[in-house]
Amino acid sequence: MDKIIILDFGSQTTQLIGRRVREMGTFCEILPYNKYPEDDSDVIGVILSGSPFSVHDVDAFRPDLSRFIGRLPVLGICYGAQYISHINGGTVEKAQTREYGRAMLCQIATDNVLFEGINAPSQVWMSHGDTITSLPEGYRVIASTENVRYAAYACDDLRLWAVQFHPEVVHSLDGTRLLENFVVRICGSHQDWNADKFVETTIDEIRHQVGSDRVILGLSGGVDSSVAAVLLHRAIGDQLTCIFVDHGMLRKNEFCDVMRDYKSLGLNVVGVDASERFFADLKGVSDPEQKRKIIGRDFVEVFNEEARKIKDARWLAQGTIYPDRIESLNITGKVIKSHHNVGGLPEEMHLKLCEPLRWLFKDEVRRVGKELGIPNHLISRHPFPGPGLAVRILGDITRDKVRVLQDADDIFIRALKDYTTEDGKSLYSQTWQAGAVLLSTVKTVGVMGDERTYEHPVALRAVTSIDAMTADWAHLPYDFLARVSNDIINNVRGVNRVCYDISSKPPSTIEWE
């Protein structure tokens, strides 16, 4: 299969490059800047990402590019463009006028395939403090802005192209066309990466990998584990046993609803209500990280206890997806962010690992889910934190606080699904993630009827995003927010005030804890 290699120099938008390439029906792999594969027989092109570094920084990444430059088509983006120029005799200097944000390409070479179908003026997104002030010998400029002469350049003899802007972000209005020109027209991709082919090949791979062994899978009710379960069931049938642990902090009625959905899909699911254990271990704990650690520890212990009851199990399957793996390693290959699906298996389980979704981005997981015939309400579900509502309750956890938040959250989520905008879509489908947060460490004064109240506020959070790396607060209609606020205060005992979170990521995170 055709493959594009994306070398990651630490840019926050490297995953976006990968998603854009996948959207073109082309398989790609994101690797640390210094981990170019020994065997590149299936590689048709290489993309170098941006970076937080300057090429002049002491700690800047300086890999040897000689293995592929001149042999394969190469596209450098931002730092990638500056690094290629720098190591080949060009000049990179601090820009007199730094360019961050929108800029306009005012001059574009009409004879270069990278800009085929793109005409000036064309809006792009810049993010750099350095700029190229001279090109290496044999290189030529192919696009400029008012302030950046070498906004894009090429070396025809080496089949090399580079841009000092970010075509992968939506603010570069012709960025998708530029990337398609590189991937399809220059690299010659056959665009044969799609959901139905993935299902077919992955089912064959699972059968070959697992054979007649038994497999266990931990379900969460989320999109990734659900799609992984149905894919495995399609491949090996009754050899798969799924375990769904209820830690008591799921959404309202979620345990029963999800169990019913899984049964309707024909999955063999063991449901475990371990809420008493989790609440006991969380008693009096307010620190967010400590709450996460306790829930993670208890989950593993409960799962292991159930897994040991399944005789002859040889494999543990997980819904690990590609961003999980990328985010768990930095570009030097060291772990910087632990993830619930990454990091190996507890040694006492003595199981081998099966990760059928390990190459997929979230949107691809959803497309595979549709291909498998999974109901839309399962595959369109918003992301939900592994510790559940425990990290949406500020302060310690009690059953009563969870009950209050479950009721408020349920009103909010149902309202998002019921409210239809002029384009016929629900507000739920137009947001990436939404939920309620209980500020249980705060009480506010209110008046209900003729009585004074002193109860907790609830904050509502809804964001729009492409991949959760960045997110903007969803601009929900005022009439919708007013109705939801009224419904929560009138129907949820313990709440007398509703706020709406209008902070974006960055600087704020999507979750409060």
Active site residues: 78, 166, 168
Task: State the first-to-last Cα distance of the chain, in angstroms, to the nearest integer.
Answer: 42
Phi/psi of residue 414, each to 5°? -60, -40
Rounded Cα gap, residues 511 and 437, in angstroms: 9
Both tokens assigned to 244: 């769904």
Both tokens assigned to 89: 């005799």
Phi/psi of residue 360, each to 5°? -100, 145
Rounded Cα gap, residues 200 and 358, in angstroms: 15
What would the DSSP string read from start to end of 325-388? Answer: HHHTS-TTS---S-BTTBS---GGG--EEE-TTTT--HHHHHHHHHHTT--HHHHTPPP--TTG
Question: Distances in Å between the alpha carbon of 356 and those of 4, 235, 264, 340, 367?
Answer: 21, 11, 22, 16, 14
Closest CA to 291 of 437, 402, 389: 389
For every residue of 7-33, which 3-state class applies, written as one string?
A: EECCCCCHHHHHHHHHHCCCEEEEEEC
Phi/psi of residue 181, each to 5°? -60, -40
Closest CA to 416 of 366, 455, 461, 372: 461
> How many residues make up the chain in this entry?
513
Rounded Cα gap, residues 169 and 103, in angstroms: 13
Rounded Cα gap, residues 76 and 288, in angstroms: 40
Q: Is the dihedral of CA 164, 165, 168, 172 positive or negative?
A: negative
